[in-house]
Amino acid sequence: MVIKLALLAGAAVGGVLTGLGFAPFDWWWLTLVGTVVLTALVQISQLVAPAPRGLALTGLVGLGYGLGLAGTTLNWMSAILVAAMVGMVVAVALFYAALALAVRAVMALRAWPLLVPACWVLLEFAISRWPFGGFGWVRVGYAMVDSPLAGAYPLVGVAGATYLAVLSGHLVWWAYGKHDWARLRRLARPSAGAKAVGEGVNAARRLVGWGCLLAVMVAAAGVGRLIAPAPAEGTIEAGWAQGGAPGGGVYGLGEARTITKNETAQTLQLAQDVAAGKLPQPDFVVWPENGTDLDPHADQATAQLVEQAVDAVGVPLFLGAIADGPGVDERQTVSLWWEPGVGETARYAKRAIVPFGEWIPARDILLPLIPQLRYVGAQSVAGDQPGVLPVTLPDGRAVNLGVAVCYDVAFDDVVYDLTRYGGQVIVVQSSNAMYQGTIQIEQQFAMTRVRAAELRRPILVVTTSGISGLIDAFGNVQWRVADRASAHGVAQLGIHTGTTPAVWLAGWLELVIAAAAAAAVGVAGGAWIRRRRG
């Protein structure tokens, strides 16, 4: 019992170590260590309790690991509801219980150093898609943005970075032979000659392991230099406004029109700074998601605030808004291109909407059972079109404006479509007011840095209350505005065309690796069943 409790405690610590690689901690090397800790403890659980009874212990090790990881990285959900945070942490941890069982299975195969990282890709493939559209928020690849492996983003994407990261840690584990628990079962001491031979083999394996690790890191960093951003075909000046929000929690946006008033106030100051020559004349101005919390087509006061802002700057306003419809008691989170004297001429509807945040799965069943879910309000409806809008700037230039809205950045296909469908200038609009003061905001900003590196495009991030900023095409932060601040400015963005290999390759690569992991688990499981029957 003591050994089993120690295993579970160690698993939780391993999960915490992995979580410390993510923003805002950013100790990416601890993520490599943490993934190896899980494998080591899975192996110990196998030694302590052989199958089939030992499978339950291995599953508990994975569950403890998942609780440590999710508890470290997803505790920000408590800003909405503590019960929701607990439910989300437990749900995520269950996936890691399944991962531990998969790792235990493939460790019986000779190619396990290659297959264990594949199991991680399989885990992230599944959790990014199911249930309720998936929640791939804590993918190992997101923690590598400041590591040498970041160079691999434009070639193999987040999924490939996950594989390389887990592989890196396990190469060292393999090199030192610490996985070889068969040694512990030997009751007799080996002969001196055998010991000498064994030490020579181990030394060779350590040399190979460290050599492979170095090769992975150098190759990834080298790719980052080889895949350069496409030459700019001109520049635009993008104004932006971070209006600020009253506070965190469910009602962090404040009373109706609070954010719109704050955004308008910052936009008027922006116009004054432009008139005074403090800032260059923008080609358009960006407001964040929820820049208007009411539909400007349906609420006259909101429309007047939008028109006041547009008239002040004299250029199109690209605003995040909540639009009524398309059905009764439904809404959409949209990005509207609003031109002076004309109004809306183009819109994008957010494709990735947050379960239990913007919509309630099985609403008719769950809402009566959990009245607290009423804070969600009208049921959001996801858009189904890529976030690429053909717009015309005041000087007559036609530009394809790419936009991702908040939760969109967590989904590969939604992001890849920005350049796949010809986006030339990319902005991310977000509303993190409910999570002010939590680590969620830093995590999302880091995730956006990864997306910039994948696409090799600069990205302007504009939020209600933090963190707005400019990220260059390599994922480096050019400037950022602090959480809870009110600010405005003008950012210069290059106009680029073309895509990176990751846009076309990463999805297929992830699918192949995940399928290989599933097949390996099946082969190992089948072999175990045959041995039991034999």
403 vs 107: CA distance, rounded Å? 43
Count CB atoms within 10 A of the CB of residue 460: 22
Spatial distance between the Cα atoms of 60 and 63, rounded to a whole number of angstroms: 5
Do 270 and 488 form a contact (C-beta atoms < 8 A)? yes
Q: What is the largest CA-CA distance in the chain?
A: 90
Amino acid identity, position 430: S
Helix (H, G, I), strand (E, B) or coil at 318: strand
Q: How far apart are CA 475 and CA 470, in angstroms?
A: 10
Cα(217)–Cα(22) distance, rounded to whole angstroms?
19
Is 235-245+253-493 in CATH node 3.40.50.720?
Answer: no
Closest to 138 measured CA to CA, from 149, 153, 123 = 123
Confidence at residue 194, expressed as pLDDT on a 0 to 100 scale = 46
Query: What is the SS3 assignment for 45-83?
Result: HHHHCCCCCHHHHHHHHHHHHHHHHHHHHCHHHHHCCHH
Phi, psi angles (nearest 5°) of residue 221: -65, -35
The pLDDT value given to residue 153: 96
The one-letter code for the residue type at 377 is: G
Domain ranges of the chain: 2-228+506-533, 235-245+253-493
Give the type of residue at 59.
G
Q: What is each CA distance from 442 to 143, 353, 534, in whole angstroms?
A: 12, 20, 54
User: How far is the C-alpha of 60 from the C-alpha of 44, rounded, in Å?
Assistant: 13
d(CA 501, CA 238): 28
pLDDT 10s digit of each residue in the chain, 534 long?
788 899 999 999 999 999 999 999 999 999 999 999 999 999 999 888 887 778 999 999 999 999 999 999 999 999 888 888 999 999 999 999 999 999 999 999 989 999 999 999 999 999 999 988 999 999 999 999 999 999 999 999 999 999 999 999 998 888 877 666 555 444 334 444 445 445 555 677 677 777 877 888 888 888 877 888 989 999 999 999 999 998 778 778 888 999 999 999 999 999 999 999 999 999 999 999 999 999 999 999 999 999 999 999 999 999 999 999 999 999 999 999 999 999 999 999 999 998 888 988 888 888 887 887 887 889 999 999 999 999 999 999 999 999 999 999 999 999 999 999 999 999 999 998 889 889 999 999 999 999 999 999 999 999 999 899 999 999 999 999 988 889 999 999 999 999 999 999 999 999 999 999 999 999 998 887 887 776
CA 344 – CA 331 distance, rounded (Å): 17
Torsion sign, CA atoms 103, 107, 108, 111: positive
Q: Beta strand pairing status for 317-324 and 284-286?
A: parallel
CA-based nearest residue to 14, from 86, 64, 59:
64
Q: Let me know: does 426 contact 491? Beta carbons within 8 Å.
A: no
What pLDDT was estimated at residue 215? 84
The owner of tokens 């997101």 is 142
